[in-house]
């Protein structure tokens, strides 16, 4: 019995090694493309499986579920969803500059709708995929490696004839790194490759004479042309893309802005977000130029129509869209790919160089294989031609032999023992034939019709073609220039057949400048109901509905449409809201919750006072807390730009119970939970800053607290004494409360 051994090791070392192994597995085997064929493993395996299944461009479509299941079972045991997602993306013309799979059925759309389930859709290879990605796999052009369970073999890389990494781009998130490569125009990329092959010292700037920049399938406008050289030099940077906007005249003298192309990053759900952003501009009154928005996009292309008012400036509004929405967006470039088995950030020139080197490797292996086959064919052809010249002797050998082995031994080794010849001369000639093994087998397998004159001529002609091929292949393998010429011819043929005009415009666009229309300042009325819904109406609507406004709403106050409203809460916070952010309309329109337009939370805070900034700026504010801390603050201190600030400082366990804007008041009355009342002059309250805690306004019992605050207006003493204040739904005459000084216990009233 073998002794067990306990190996002691550092836990952190084990974790580090395990994590690095996991990370490298994700980086190399899942998330990043290979610079040679521009494909991730799942894409490569899906295409190869379709090739193996015979789902060619000229054959019928096959169910996607069949392709996904076969790929998962043979090559990619990582779940069907990842395989199907890869297949779907390779069919989508709006994501790929060059779709590699021809999809039949619902494979999603540019607006973000997903593809149908794999059991409903069908697919087959595109013609270019078959001709430029999967051709020559039978010619030993790439290495084949065992699959995950070593029951099948798969190509380690596809013999792609174009820099697919540039043409289709790539996006992927690995562990600790990510790749983001934009798609480019096929014709431009091929021209750049040709330029590099003709001058390997060409610079990135030189290559960019051919590759103007990214060519997104959604079109759009790249506006930072001058920065592209640096991006393509380093392999990372940010490309600024704008949608294409056209101005159309509409009925009634109005103008329509029509968005016909969108930025590439807007593909999917971001189109819906873009439409909601435009609507939000109108709702928040950042612009009042919009009459209507409609998404008229179809299979024919993108068409988003924004109808503008007659007096709108379309150019200014277009700049607003660029500034405030994703109609101008950024595509982050990080050209990370697997090169030599390692992840590497590569510039434009490095990617083309790696691809050209790969093309030469593939071509060398291809023509080495073809040369070997042609040499074998030449050997057999020479044997057959020679055999036809001595066909009578060959027939005599066959007729005189007892079996195939005897006849073959005579043809190859010249052994005539046991063979019956008609004459001694025939035997001597037979002993001198000396065919090779392959030639002898071909002669033995030759059919009699090959002896017809035309067949002999065809054999000789075929032999001449074989000799020409051998000469050509040897020239290609021995001379790099000849091999380069072959590669260039293939590239040019692909460009002519599959090239298409550029879709994305590349230019140096001017910075979008939006001139916001100056809003005419006017007085409006703010209405806040008891449920915390706020809205604004014009003064005329308020005057017509004054009584209803006063009775149906908790807060009713005037404000400037260019100003702010202020919300004071029991936690001592001040929340401000721009009046422009509030809905403006008719008297009976429903408002919007304060929670939705400010940092105020109805679940955590209680509103003490809501008023306008313009009202505060003219007056002082008196704060009173539950623990009887009191202070006066100049209202101008609350003219702040921040959405939330501290309006007062509170002791632990304390809270604000009253905020009063002073106008003509001279006295203040504090009432407590135990029925004590204190009346004193407001001038006894010191002025403090908003960050101060205040002074004690009243002495409280150990279990007492301030429950009521009332500020009294300036009147004659007799009138003031007969004034009533409300306490716990009861009316108390002010004359019953003796006027004293601040910081006293006060008078206890009963009933």
Which CATH number is 727's domain given? 2.120.10.90
Q: Which of 19, 22, 120, 148 is catalytic?
A: 120
Residue 555 lies in a domain: yes
CA proximity to 239, closest of 499, 512, 509: 509
528 and 479 co-located in one domain: no
Determine the pLDDT at residue 725.
82
451 and 590 co-located in one domain: no
| Assigned token pair, 740 | 């004293």
CA proximity to 34, closest of 346, 366, 361: 346
What pTM did the predictor assign?
Answer: 0.74
Q: Report the distance separating Cα 106 and Cα 669, nearest Å.
A: 74
494 and 527 co-located in one domain: no
Report, as ranges of residue numbers, the positions in the chain whose pLDDT lies below 50. 1
Give me the percent of the chain exceeding a pLDDT of 90: 55
CA distances from 635 to 405, 623, 653, 660 (A): 117, 11, 26, 11
663 and 737 co-located in one domain: yes
70 and 148 co-located in one domain: yes
584 and 691 co-located in one domain: yes
269 and 410 co-located in one domain: no
Residue 518 lies in a domain: no
* 267: alpha, beta or left? (left if phi > 0; alpha if psi -120 to 50): beta
588 and 737 co-located in one domain: yes
Q: Counting beta carbons within 10 angstroms of the beta carbon of residue 192, is it exposed (0 to 12), middle (13 to 18) or buried (19 or more)?
A: buried
| Assigned token pair, 285 | 């009154």
- Edge to edge, what strands does the sheet with 255-261 contain? 244-249, 255-261, 304-308, 290-295
Query: Could you give the 3-state DSSP secondary structure of residue 606?
Result: coil
At 13, phi and psi to the nearest 5? Answer: -65, -40
CA proximity to 209, closest of 218, 220, 198: 198
| Assigned token pair, 326 | 């994703």
Reported as type and span, the H/E element at residue 77 is none
Q: Is residue 84 among the annotated active site residues? A: no
Structural domain count of the chain: 4
Number of residues assigned to the chain:
751
- Of 159, 176, 203, the position where a domain reaches its end is 159
Q: Could you list the residue range(s) of the whole structural domain that residue 116 is in?
A: 39-159
305 and 430 co-located in one domain: no
563 and 699 co-located in one domain: yes
Query: Could you give the 3-state DSSP secondary structure of residue 406?
Result: helix
Q: Report the distance separating Cα 613 and Cα 558, nearest Å.
A: 10
| Angle between helices 348-389 and 437-445 in degrees, nearest 10 | 60
**What is the SS3 assignment for 112-160?**
CCCCCCCCCCEEEECHHHHHHCCCCHHHCCCCEEECCCCCCEEECCCCC
Compute and round to an integer the Cα radius of gyration of the chain: 44
431 and 541 co-located in one domain: no
564 and 710 co-located in one domain: yes
CA distances from 565 to 280, 522, 536 (A): 21, 15, 11
Residue 225 lies in a domain: no
| Assigned token pair, 35 | 């610079």
- Of 326, 349, 382, the position where a domain reaches its end is 326
Residue tagged 């290979």 (tokens): 34
- Of 460, 481, 498, the position where a domain reaches its end is 498
Judging by DSSP bridges, how do beta strands 676-681 and 747-748 pair with one another? antiparallel
CB-side exposure of 511: number of CA atoms within 13 Å?
A: 2
The CB-based long-range contact list for 111-120 (8 Å cut-off, 24+ gap) reads: 111/268, 111/269, 111/271, 111/272, 111/297, 112/267, 112/268, 112/269, 112/270, 112/271, 112/272, 115/84, 115/88, 118/63, 118/64, 118/65, 118/68, 118/80, 118/84, 119/63, 119/64, 119/65
């Amino acid at each position: 019995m073998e002794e067990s051994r306990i190996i002691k090791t550092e836990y952190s070392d084990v974790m580090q090694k395990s994590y690095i192994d996991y990370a490298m597995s994700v980086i190399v085997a899942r998330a990043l493309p290979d610079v040679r064929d521009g494909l991730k493993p799942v894409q490569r395996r899906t295409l190869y499986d379709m090739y193996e299944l015979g789902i060619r461009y000229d054959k019928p479509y096959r169910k996607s579920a069949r392709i996904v299941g076969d790929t998962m079972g043979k090559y990619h045991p990582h779940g069907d969803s990842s395989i199907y997602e890869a297949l779907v993306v390779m069919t989508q013309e709006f994501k790929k500059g060059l779709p590699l799979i021809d999809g039949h059925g619902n494979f999603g759309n540019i607006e973000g709708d997903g593809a149908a389930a794999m059991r409903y859709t069908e697919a087959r290879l595109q013609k270019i995929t078959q001709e430029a990605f999967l051709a020559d796999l039978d010619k030993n052009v790439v290495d084949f490696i065992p699959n995950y369970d070593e029951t099948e073999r798969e190509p380690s890389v596809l013999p792609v004839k174009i820099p697919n990494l540039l043409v289709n781009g790539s996006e992927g998130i690995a562990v600790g790194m990510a790749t983001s490569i934009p798609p480019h125009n096929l014709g431009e990329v091929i021209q750049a490759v040709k330029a590099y092959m003709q001058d390997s010292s060409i610079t990135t700037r030189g290559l960019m004479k051919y590759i103007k920049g990214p060519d997104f399938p959604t079109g759009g406008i790249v506006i930072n042309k001058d920065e592209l050289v640096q991006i393509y030099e380093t392999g990372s940077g940010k490309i600024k893309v704008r949608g294409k906007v056209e101005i159309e005249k509409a009925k009634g003298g109005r103008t329509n802005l029509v968005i016909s192309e969108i930025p590439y990053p807007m593909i999917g759900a971001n189109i819906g977000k873009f439409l909601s952003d435009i609507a939000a501009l109108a709702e928040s009154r950042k612009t009042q130029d919009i009459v209507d928005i409609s998404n008229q996009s179809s299979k024919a292309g993108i068409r988003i129509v924004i109808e503008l008012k007659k007096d709108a400036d379309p150019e200014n509004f277009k700049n607003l869209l660029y500034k405030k929405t994703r109609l101008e967006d950024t595509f982050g470039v990080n050209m990370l790919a697997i090169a030599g088995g390692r992840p590497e950030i590569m510039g434009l020139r490095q990617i083309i160089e790696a691809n050209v080197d790969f093309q030469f490797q593939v071509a060398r292996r291809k023509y080495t294989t073809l040369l070997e086959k042609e040499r074998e064919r030449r050997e057999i052809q020479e044997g057959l031609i020679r055999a036809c010249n001595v066909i009578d002797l060959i027939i005599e050998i066959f007729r005189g032999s007892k079996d195939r082995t005897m006849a073959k031994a005579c043809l190859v080794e010249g052994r005539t023992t046991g063979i019956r010849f008609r004459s001694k001369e025939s035997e001597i000639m037979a002993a001198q034939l000396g065919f090779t093994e392959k030639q002898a087998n071909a002669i033995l397998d030759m059919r009699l019709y090959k002896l017809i004159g035309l067949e002999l001529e065809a054999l000789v002609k075929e032999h001449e073609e074989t000799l020409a091929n051998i000469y050509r292949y040897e020239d290609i393998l021995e001379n790099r220039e000849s091999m380069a010429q072959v590669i260039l011819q293939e590239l040019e043929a692909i460009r002519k057949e599959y090239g298409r005009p550029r879709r994305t415009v590349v230019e140096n666009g001017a910075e979008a400048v939006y001139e916001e229309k100056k809003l005419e300042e006017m007085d409006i009325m703010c209405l806040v109901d008891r449920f915390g819904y706020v809205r604004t109406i014009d003064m005329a609507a308020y005057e017509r509905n004054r009584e209803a406004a006063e009775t149906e709403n908790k807060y009713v106050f005037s404000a400037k449409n260019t100003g702010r409203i202020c919300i004071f809460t029991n936690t001592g916070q001040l929340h401000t809201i721009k009046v422009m952010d509030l809905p403006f309309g008719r008297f009976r329109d429903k408002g919007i919750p304060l929670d939705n337009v400010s940092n105020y939370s109805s679940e955590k805070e209680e509103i003490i006072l809501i008023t306008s900034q313009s009202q505060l700026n003219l007056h002082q504010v008196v704060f009173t807390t539950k623990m009887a801390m009191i202070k006066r603050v100049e209202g101008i201190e609350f003219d702040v730009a921040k959405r939330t600030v501290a309006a007062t400082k509170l002791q632990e366990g304390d809270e604000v119970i009253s905020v009063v804007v002073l106008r003509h008041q001279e006295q203040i009355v504090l009432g407590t939970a135990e029925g004590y009342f204190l009346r004193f002059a407001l001038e006894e309250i010191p002025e403090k800053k908003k960050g101060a805690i205040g002074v004690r306004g009243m002495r409280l019992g150990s279990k007492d607290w301030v429950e009521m605050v009332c500020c009294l207006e300036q009147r004659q003493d007799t009138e003031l004494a007969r004034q009533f204040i409300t306490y716990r739904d009861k009316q108390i005459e002010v004359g019953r409360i003796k006027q004293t000084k601040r910081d006293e216990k006060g008078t206890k009233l009963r009933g």
